[in-house]
Amino acid sequence: MKKRVYTILVEHFKQWGITHVFGIPGKSISPVMLELESFEIEYVLGRHESGCGFEAAGYALGKNTLGVVLGTSGPGGTNLLTAAAQAMEFNLPVLFITGHPSAVDTGKAMSQESSPFGADLVKMFEPVTRFSGRVERAESFRLFLQHAIEQAWTGERGPVHLCIPFDVLMEEVEPFHLSMPQVSPLVCSDYGQAISLLDQATNPILFIGKGGVIAEAFDEIQLMAEHWKIPVVTTPGGKGAFPTQHPLYLGGFGLGGSKIAIDYMRSGVDLMIVIGSKLCDMQLSGFGADMVPQQVLQFEHEITFTGKSILTPTEIILGDLKANLRGLLKKANASLGDYERLTAPPFHLNDSESDNTKLSAKRVMKLLRSMLPTDAILFGDAGSHSFYAVEHFDILEPGTFYLDEVFIAMGAAIGYSIGAKLALPDRDVVCITGDGCLMLQGTEISTAVNHEIATVFFVLNNGRLDMVEKGMSYNTGRSVGAVYKSPLHVTQFAESMGAEAYRCETEAELAAALHRSIGRTEGGPIVIEVIVDPEEIPPILTRLLSLD
């Protein structure tokens, strides 16, 4: 018996184990939304389509599944573009579905037109997705859906986009069933040269990027480091890949990097093993000619950004990062070294500080680390606040810190943390953000309130776009347009949306707010506003601004 296209679509969501779909309502997608309720899939009503897209991506990351977000035609779709680009950078499988006026009306002056005659969403999504297509006929729906899921889920995962006109959604076709693709990972056939380079290296360095985190190659990275006794540095986005108290860890490199890591990079590295890093300017911030290694061994999903930033002989191993590392280690008969397992040093409140002393972001991060459980998941937003975390927040369990330093959409971490908390309700999920990011995406706190999502929003407030203001001042001697004349009162803003919120100006107040926030699985979000010293210099000044 035939079924409507929207029913078949939602049936697949249910079969794939998707429990939540995100979006903003609109006529062109209303059949899908109504059917979600019929199949007991929770529709998470966001406050802005970009926030919905970020939430779907956070859900995909936390649950290791497909994320789904719905947007109506026209502006509903254009508002999703930023979220698609951010999901692309994180290699997250998110299905972006946008509506469209009925296909039979294409070419007429229709409200929220999104065809080639108007705002062509298919073309707009092409640069920021693995696949973007419009289903013009119901008979084509199966092939479009199958291709989209294959592109999202296999190889180097990423977002995909389907634009489905209203009348196509309403048509009836023969039902079908598509399973999520099961494809063996792409692996290298010969690790001999890589093993030879590792065996012969006398002063190597492991340089870990965000790709190592997304691939969840934590055990493999640690085994490689210990077997060959290789010191480890992490990019800002790669920080979550390796325990920071491990004896082989030298600290971060790039923005928020450590002096120890910089000094080692200057010591004459003969082999730099790069895992999952595009080697962008934020990751190589502070990298000088005296740090160029004799040889690079690079593990990447694909070749686009390999051998471009560091001009030295480069051996490239393409394919699935985790599978290739595992294959290399097996070929080398690698074994763990005998290293003491360390924990983060305890942090004590500074009782000697007066209530009038401005909090430093450095101490705030150390206090946050001391109170959070080791498996708490943190999402760092775009700004100085996250680079304080890169420098001062210890990683005790790999896979608990997520930060992007390539696309860097302000406010993305707000949505990511909401989606991840829905996927992992029993884990503490914390968003580290700032007042600037909150002004872009802060209304998604209302989404968390209305759906009783117990995310913790940790907001550093210094009344400015700190990373821009400090960087501009450092490089040019002045800054323009980066300080708020009337700063945001974060607590009042959060409370106006129904959230529980605390304004903290002392360590004691902050400790009390954190104590109230940790270990919650339900009851809605808590917003912790931390008033930090606006004059504190963040660890971002190695990124130079050239006005030549």
pLDDT tier for residue 116 given thresholds of 50, 70 and 90: low
β-pair partners for 296 = 272, 314
| Mean pLDDT, rounded, of the chain | 91
Residue 252: inside a domain? yes
Q: Does residue 515 belong to any structural domain of this protein?
A: yes
**Is residue 382 in some structural domain?**
yes
For residues 469 and 432, membership in a common domain is answered with: yes
Give residue 297's domain range: 192-331
The answer to whether residue 548 sits within a structural domain is no
Q: What's residue 354's pLDDT? A: 46
Contact 221, 204 (CB under 8 A): no
Do 370 and 326 belong together in one domain? no
Q: Report yes or no on 351 lying in a domain.
A: no
Is the four-CA dihedral 455, 458, 461, 465 of positive or negative sign?
negative
- CA quadruple 269, 271, 275, 277: dihedral, nearest 10: 50
Is residue 307 located within the same domain as residue 383?
Answer: no
DSSP 45: E
**Which pLDDT belongs to residue 546?**
44
Are 153 and 224 contained in the same domain? no
Q: How many helices (H) and strands (E) does the chain have?
A: 21, 20
| Residue 265 belongs to domain with CATH number | 3.40.50.1220
Query: Going edge to edge, which strands form the sheet with 42-45?
Result: 42-45, 20-23, 67-71, 94-98, 160-163, 131-134
| Mean pLDDT of the region 242-271 | 93
The per-residue pLDDT for range 65-90, each reduced to its tens digit, is 999 999 998 899 999 999 999 999 99
Whole-structure pTM value = 0.93
Nearest to 472 by CA among 482, 464, 459: 482
Structural domains in the chain (count):
3
**CB distance 310 to 279 below 8 Å:** yes
More confident residue, 319 or 21: 21
**Is residue 510 in some structural domain?**
yes
Domain check: are 400 and 284 in the same one? no
Could you tell me if residue 182 is inside a domain? no
Together in a domain, 124 and 196: no
**Are 154 and 22 part of one and the same domain?**
yes
486 within a domain of the structure (yes/no): yes
**Rg of the chain over all Cα atoms, to the nearest angstrom:** 24
Is 387 in the same domain as 515? yes
Looking at residue 183, its pLDDT comes to 80
Mean pLDDT of 246-261: 92
Q: Which phi and psi (to 5°) does residue 330 adopt?
A: -65, -40
Asked if residue 475 and residue 400 are part of one domain, the reply reads: yes
H-run or E-run covering 16: none
User: Residue 433 is which amino acid?
Assistant: T
Instruction: Kindly indicate the confidence band of residue 493, based on its pLDDT and cuts at 50, 70 and 90.
Output: very high
d(CA 50, CA 80): 5
Average pLDDT over residues 272-301: 92
pLDDT per residue over 126-176, tens digit each?
Answer: 999 999 999 999 999 999 999 999 999 998 899 999 999 999 999 999 999
Q: How far is residue 255's CA from residue 366's CA, in Å, rounded to a whole number?
A: 18
pLDDT band at 548 (very low <50, low <70, confident <90, very high): very low
Identify the domain boundary among 111, 139, 173.
Answer: 173
Reading phi first (left if > 0) and then psi (alpha if -120 to 50, else beta), residue 317 is in beta
Based on the fold, state whether residues 166 and 197 are members of the same structural domain: no
Residue 376: CATH number of its domain: 3.40.50.970
Q: Are residues 127 and 229 in the same domain?
A: no
456 vs 431: CA distance, rounded Å: 6
131 and 212 together in one domain: no
Helix (H, G, I), strand (E, B), or coil: what is residue 352?
A: coil
Which pair of structure tokens corresponds to residue 277?
Answer: 């890093």
